[in-house]
Amino acid sequence: MKRTSLYLLVIIVILGFSVVVFLEDEEEKEEQVDYQYQIKESRIISYLGQERRWDLQLEEVIEPLVTDDDQLERIIAQGVKDGKFFEGEQVRYNLDVERLIYKQESKDLQLRGDVQLKESTGQQIRTEKLDWLAEEQKFRTDSPVSYLFDDGELSAGGMIVDLTAEVIDFTIGVEMTFDFEGADSDEK
């Protein structure tokens, strides 16, 4: 009888301790807010401290095959629709693209296939290939590009957008089309 009571007491103490440890682990998981990436089903959200950097809706996340020669950790997203890049609390750019490759170490992005990057001001970049160079704060493409703005469109064989200097440099075969609307004419 004493032996059974002793075993019962030991089991109750062990179960009580296990429940306390389990509850503490759950509280620690809920309190962790300082994460860098949050990947949920068809959405990737990136934070820097408490500030949201980007939020991407996508068809799927592809796990890259990493070999000894290619140690760069990457996130590859397929079918990005309704992607948002933030500046402070506000959306600065909206993005639609077929494929996005994010290099975690350098913070660079490679956008491939039907790239449509729209700035909050209404200006839009369309191309097949666009790279974001995080360290230099530049967008770059050597593919044909269209830059749409309120009163026209500029097309070129390539482009570099320097966000630090606020300069857009178009290269190779630059053409510009303007929409003119006069008081006596509906001509464009």
**pLDDT, tens digit (0-9, with 9 covering 90-100), for 6-26:** 555 555 546 554 444 444 444
Q: Has residue 30 been placed in a domain?
A: no
20 Cβ neighbours under 8 A, 6+ residues apart: none
29 Cβ neighbours under 8 A, 6+ residues apart: none
Q: Has residue 56 been placed in a domain?
A: yes
Query: Total structural domains in the chain?
Result: 1
31 Cβ neighbours under 8 A, 6+ residues apart: none
92 Cβ neighbours under 8 A, 6+ residues apart: 85, 86, 119, 120
Q: Has residue 8 been placed in a domain?
A: no
Q: Has residue 23 been placed in a domain?
A: no
Q: How confident is the model at residue 35 (pLDDT cuts 50, 70, 90)?
A: very low
Model pTM? Answer: 0.67
Residue pair 19/27 in contact (Cβ under 8 Å)? The answer is: no
Q: Has residue 186 been placed in a domain?
A: no
Strands 152-156 and 138-141: unpaired
Q: Which domain holds residue 170?
A: 37-64+71-178
pLDDT tens readout for residues 22-31: 444 444 444 4
DSSP assignments along 24-52, one per residue = HHHHHHHH----SEEEETTEEEEEETTEE
CA angle, 133 then 136 then 140, to 5°: 45
Q: Has residue 152 been placed in a domain?
A: yes
Q: Has residue 29 been placed in a domain?
A: no
Q: Has residue 93 been placed in a domain?
A: yes
What CATH number does the domain containing 92 carry?
2.60.450.10
